């Protein structure tokens, strides 16, 4: 009897200590999601072994595509197709709806495929210019993301982008295995690596986060010209419903001075803005984004 009691006390005590010490704290650091997703650049050979077959049926080609080229992201027109960095992008995303990531990918491959050699520069030109501009409006968060990570030499980027787009197309088809079993089977080998790298799929990927940032960018009305703007970092904690609608937004680091209060209120308005609801986030990772914090940092302005 006594022994049991001792064991019980010890174990309960251990649990308490563990919880108090808060192992969760380290996770709060930003680096966690800033860590580059381990994107495996499939060697060209692998790629050519695979795919190169069909163009995804629905893909409204004009649609999304390159928001990338439009966005200031310098990187070249060619970039767009690649955007896909998304190999980790499992999200199914229905075509018609303008979902962020996947959407761009499919259409892209189509044009690209047309011209085999150095597809990017050439093929993209016709397809890219038109869609991008108008497409940009519908606000595809996606585009911004890809160019940034790929600041490597353009050439390499182009080539791997091309291979990425192929990959993406296939990945996309993967969930639709039933309808297209042959390609799925063919892809299995090449995609095994991707699956391994998919431990990142539990967390939001770089591109998903960039997509989210791009979406919020349109809703955050920055108080320009505010004195000491660099000082006005506002943390807003939000709760999101499974459909992506923000249910509540709360400023967690309020300060009494009126300038900060105004900056805090304008930051709080951003996730509640109709243009940012619903948030474009992958539904299957809901656990990751059902409650999180936006940090509004006006460091890039006057």
Partner 1 sequence: MNAIYNLFRLALIPVLLVASLDAKGLVVEITKGTIGEIPIAITPFELHGLEGTESAEDFADKLQDIVRADLSGCGFFRILSPRAFIQTQFAEGVRFQDWRAINAQVLVMGELQLARSNPGRFIVKFRIYDVFSREELGKVQFDAKISDWRRTAHKIADVIYQRVTGEKGYFDTRIVYVARAPGTAGRPQNRLAIMDQDGANHQYLSNGAQLVFTPRFSPTLHHLTYLDFGADWRTPRVYLMDTFSGQKRQLGSFNGMTLAPRFSPDGKSVIMSYSKDGASNLYLMHLASAQVRQLTQGNAIDVSGCYSPQGDNIVFNSDREGTQQLYVINANGDNIRRISLGGGRYASPVWSPRGDWIAFTKTYQGQFYIGIMRPDGSGERLITSSYIVEEPTWSPNGRVLMYTKKTSAKDKQRLYRIDLTGFNEHEVPTPAHEEALSPAWSPLLP
Contact set with partner 1 (CB under 8 A): 3-4, 7-8, 11-12, 14-15, 18-19, 22-25, 27-30, 32-33, 204, 209, 212-213, 216-227, 235, 249, 258-263, 265-266, 268-270, 272-274, 287-289, 291-302
Minimum separation from the CB atom of position 4 to partner 1 (A): 5
Minimum separation from the CB atom of position 140 to partner 1 (A): 16
Q: How far is CA 27 from CA 24, 104, 122, 208, 297, in A?
A: 6, 31, 44, 18, 20
| Residue among 116 and 301 whose Cβ is closer to partner 1 | 301
- Give CA–CA dist 48/230, Å, rounded: 49
| Residue among 125 and 295 whose Cβ is closer to partner 1 | 295
| Residue among 117 and 225 whose Cβ is closer to partner 1 | 225
| Residue among 4 and 153 whose Cβ is closer to partner 1 | 4
Minimum separation from the CB atom of position 289 to partner 1 (A): 7
Minimum separation from the CB atom of position 108 to partner 1 (A): 25
- Give the β-pairing of 246-251 and 291-296: unpaired
Phi, psi of 61 (to 5 degrees): -50, -50
Contacts of 232 (CB under 8 A, 6+ apart): 223, 226, 259, 260, 263, 264, 298
| Residue among 47 and 281 whose Cβ is closer to partner 1 | 281
3-state DSSP assignment of residue 240: strand
Closest of 213, 214, 216, 232 to residue 224, by C-alpha = 232
Minimum separation from the CB atom of position 59 to partner 1 (A): 29
- Give CA–CA dist 117/274, Å, rounded: 44
- Give CA–CA dist 127/65, Å, rounded: 9
| Residue among 171 and 222 whose Cβ is closer to partner 1 | 222
Minimum separation from the CB atom of position 146 to partner 1 (A): 17
Structure tokens at 260: 């900060």
């Amino acid at each position: 009897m006594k022994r049991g009691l001792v064991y019980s006390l010890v174990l309960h005590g251990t649990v308490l200590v563990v919880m108090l010490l808060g192992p969760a704290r380290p996770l709060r650091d930003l680096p966690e999601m800033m860590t580059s997703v381990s994107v495996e650049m499939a060697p060209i050979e692998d790629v050519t072994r695979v795919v190169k077959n069909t163009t995804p049926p629905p893909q409204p080609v004009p649609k999304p595509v390159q928001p990338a080229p439009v966005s200031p992201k310098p990187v070249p027109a060619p970039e767009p197709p690649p955007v896909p960095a998304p190999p980790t992008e499992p999200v199914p995303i229905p075509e018609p709806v303008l979902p962020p990531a996947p959407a761009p990918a499919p259409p892209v491959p189509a044009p690209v495929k047309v011209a085999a050699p150095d597809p990017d520069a050439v093929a993209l030109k016709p397809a890219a210019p038109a869609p991008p501009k108008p497409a940009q409006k519908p606000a595809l968060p996606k585009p911004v993301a890809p160019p940034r990570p790929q600041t490597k030499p353009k050439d390499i980027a182009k080539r791997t982008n091309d291979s990425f787009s192929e990959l993406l197309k296939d990945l996309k088809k993967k969930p639709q295995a039933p309808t297209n079993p042959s390609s799925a089977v063919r892809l299995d080998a090449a995609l095994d690596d991707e699956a391994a790298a998919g431990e990142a799929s539990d967390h939001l990927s770089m591109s998903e986060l960039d997509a989210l940032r791009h979406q919020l960018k349109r809703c955050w009305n920055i108080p320009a010209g505010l004195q000491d703007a660099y000082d006005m970092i506002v943390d807003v904690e939000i709760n999101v419903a499974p459909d992506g609608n923000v249910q509540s937004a709360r400023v967690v680091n309020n300060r009494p001075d009126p300038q900060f209060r105004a900056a805090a209120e304008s930051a709080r308005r951003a996730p509640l803005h109709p243009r940012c609801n619903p948030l474009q986030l992958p539904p299957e990772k809901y656990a990751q984004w059902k409650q999180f914090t936006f940090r509004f940092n006006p460091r890039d302005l006057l």
